Amino acid sequence: MPNLLSLEFEIFGRVQGVFFRKYTQKKATELGLAGWVRNTSQGTVQGVAQGPAPKITSMKTWLQTTGSPSSQIEKAEFKETAISTPQFKKFSIDKTR
């Protein structure tokens, strides 16, 4: 079994109102990752992605450099933690902020 990681992320820039959460969910699902993403009241996007280390690396790169077509990513902060089992079953958009 591959090493599993939990990646906490916060993305800064023009990331709200540009379908960033939807594209993040789509990318995470394509990679087979579980977790969630949400807008914050500070105008950033936060989330957690969990899965095999190589897939997490791909997700980090995507979050830092790609995002949604209309987004402008200024900065991305990450915190990785090794885990034994994922906490989530799928990747969802959390709209409860």
Catalytic pick among 3, 14, 21, 38? 21
| 3-state SS, residue 63 | helix
Provide the 3-class DSSP secondary structure of residue 21. Answer: helix
3 classed as catalytic: no
- 11: tokens are 């993305």
For residue 84, how many other CB atoms are within 10 A of its CB? 7
In the set 14, 38, 39, 97, the catalytic residue is: 39
Q: At what angle do helices 53-65 and 20-31 cross, to 10 degrees?
A: 160
21 is catalytic: yes
Asked if 29 and 90 count as a contact pair (C-beta separation under 8 A), the reply is yes
Residues that are catalytic: 21, 39
